[in-house]
Structure 1
């Protein structure tokens, strides 16, 4: 940011000072409402101004630099028309910091927070009450002898607030939606027997199944030429299906499970357990996704058999399910949200 002063004599405009900094904004999405309240969702930020250069008029006595975080809020479809945009995203307790450039050079840290007040209590009938906030860090320089405050805006970011009643861990929360969320399972994450204390439950069997389904879908059961199994790439993700969201969602979830059960019990299913053998029939994509086994019933026959089932260790299958459920809640994967699974070694 240059300090430019213009005059009649000598005529022209001249750079009378320079301020250079590297600015870092780190946001922290939240699980839960503000002070455990049922309406207000919030997000917090750490902001750092790393001053590289400050000279000339920026060092004059009385020069100030104020850092703020501005947010423009909007409500999603389905939120009552009486909901006001100013309550979708607004400044909370940390309204900004104003100090001299030299004080920012000595300590470049400050905090921001943004709030969003939902119009109604969390309830399935009220929907997720989604509010989107477009936030921008703004630096405003005040220099004695200059007739105006000189602003400098940073990059625009996006935060999403929701009140998802079906979220078992916290009905209110916030996330940054610019990236496709991903859950990782590792092939090396094996269960460890109970030698001392509680046993460790891994997910290696599920990782092997999903990894094979994504890497070589044609090798999976049920058989199909040119089978496509989504869920491993942001360009071809799964989308969360929440059975508790409504009757339509419950019916589709049950349809996914019914087809998986029928396929696992079919005579051609490989690896069926022998009498007395305890195995689970694992499916991918998950029943809790719109890309599950019954997709063809709702979206067209081209999706028939675009899924995979495999008999695997039951403890690892159930542990993978627990991790998936916790991740849905903690990362606030809402109904219809896209997401992917990453498989590690």
Structure 2
């Protein structure tokens, strides 16, 4: 199999996995706020899944992670399994190889339902494997009659169940695999996650194992790809106003950082907000209340992700969200006066957003004067509300849950 690379791999225990989830990942899934900011229906709540053909043509650059994540719902790998027999001079002085190509995609499920649907949440994922021929050379290539077993592994880290529709794997001859075939493994998750987790999140490591039944002298007998990280949940608060559809549980791959892009280029529907965020991220001392030596988080440069706050979950979250809004608006009044809206033309825009734990009330909840600050200022109402709409639609589209971390990048 081609040399595989794994940076910051998902751990094999639940405690380590919970610490690993918010860490910085090698890959990013980037979304443009502009496509969510415009009025009118957004086609669907879930992002488009990766296809086998798309994965087959994807270029894995040097140093890239093992798995390519098109988005949170899609993972992919492609490469070769090389069945090898070393040269054995003086009879056969050339190496022998008989290989085949694999394309593996994993697609998580988002169970979107109409708003009045009260069906139980569903947690599923599907892996599809497609094979084709590869290089064959040397005096003794592995026989095409050799049996090859392909198996998708799904290991639960938390006592839940990950049922595999083909748990024993699929066995074919090397000749059949080189001729090309396709098969799918359906994973169905059940069970209760970490106690006290409002979203009932459950955690799994998934991988591909290839077992080769070969004559003596041929290798390798078995090879596995490194693990990928699957997370499932039964959350119900992600709701798309345009489509009138709601998440009722989903499975996503979490070894990828979510990044929301706002553009400050001329003509951007969120330019004023993007300018504000750019100023806050790069020159917090020039914002209000700002402050020299302060950090306003959210950019890659800060190394400090924002984490989503969901007031609908209650238990103090609603109070913190309200405090974020109150402190930000009080700041607008403090520096721009009671009529900072200029008769309703402006809104008090805040960054970090009120729907994050890093919002204006961060210091209030974290023991006083920390190095973290925020910014708020009056901005055009239309652009401010377009930016807010984009954020909320993106939360639903990318399945960003309570305390999930993400970055905000400014383009243009």
What is the TM-score when the length of structure 2 is the normalising length? 0.66
Is 2:256 the counterpart of 1:188? Answer: no
Q: 1:92 aligned to 2:165?
A: yes
Secondary structure at 1:225 match in 2:
coil
CA contact (8 A) 1:210 1:343 kept: yes
How far residue 154 of structure 1 moved from its aligned partner, in angstroms, is: 1.3
Paired residues of 2:111 and 2:121 also in contact (CA < 8 A): no
**Structure 1 residue 4: deviation in Å?**
5.9
Given that 2:232 and 2:252 are in contact with CA atoms closer than 8 Å, whether structure 1 keeps it comes out as: yes
Residues 204-223 of structure 1: pairs in structure 2 closer than 5 A: 204-223=271-290
- Does the alignment pair 1:249 with 2:317? yes
2:142 is the alignment partner of 1:58 = yes
Find the aligned partners of 2:270 and 2:206 in 1 and give their Cα distance: 39
Contact kept, 8 Å, 2:299 with 2:407, in 1: the verdict is yes
Q: C-alpha distance in 1, partners of 2:336/2:344?
A: 18
For 1:16 and 1:38, locate their aligned partners in 2 and report how far apart those are by CA, in whole Å. Answer: 56
- 1:286 maps onto 2:353 in alignment: yes
2:120 to 24, 33, 38: 38
Deviates more, 1:298-307 or 1:235-244: 298-307
- Among 323, 327, 333, the alignment partner of 1:265 is 333
Residue 213 of structure 1 deviates from its aligned partner by 1.2
Aligned twin of 1:68? 151
Flag the 1:146–1:294 CA change in 2: closer, same or farther, 3 A. Answer: same
- CA positional deviation for 1:264: 1.1
1:1-345 equivalent positions in 2, closer than 5 A: 1-2=82-83, 18-32=97-111, 38-49=120-131, 51-54=133-136, 56=140, 58-60=142-144, 62-75=145-158, 84-85=159-160, 87=161, 89-92=162-165, 96-107=169-180, 109-119=182-192, 127-143=198-214, 150-168=221-239, 169-188=246-265, 190=267, 202-233=269-300, 235-268=303-336, 272-274=340-342, 276=343, 278-303=345-370, 306-345=373-412
Larger relative contact order (C-alpha < 8 A, sep ≥ 6)?
A: 2
Q: Distance in 1 between matches of 2:334 and 2:363?
A: 19
Q: How many residues align?
A: 317
Equivalent residues of 2:307, 2:404 under 8 A apart? yes
Q: Are residues 141 and 15 of structure 1, via their aligned partners in 2, closer, same or farther at CA, if it must alter by over 3 Å?
A: farther
Deviations 1:35-62 (A, max 9, x none): x9624301223434454324645334x3
Rg larger in 1 or in 2? 1
Unpaired runs of 5+ residues, structure 2, are 1-81, 87-92, 240-245
Deviations 1:188-231 (A, max 9, x none): 3736xxxxxxxxxx222211211221122111112412121001
Note if contact 1:54-1:101 (Cα within 8 Å) is conserved in structure 2.
no
Cα distance in 2 for partners of 1:51, 1:235 equals 44
Tell me how far apart the structure 1 counterparts of residues 101 and 273 of structure 2 sit (CA, whole Å): 44
TM-score by length of 1: 0.78
For residues 162-184 of structure 1, give each alpha carbon's deviation from its aligned partner in whole angstroms, at most 9, with x where no partner exists: 11132222020011111221111
Q: Which runs of 5+ in 1 are unaligned?
A: 6-13, 76-83, 192-201
Distance in structure 1 (CA, Å) of the matches to 2:94 and 2:397: 50
Alignment-derived partner of residue 79 in structure 1: none
Contact 2:284–2:292 at 8 Å: present in 1 too?
no
What is the alpha-carbon distance in structure 1 between the residues aligned to residue 202 and residue 231 of structure 2?
Answer: 6
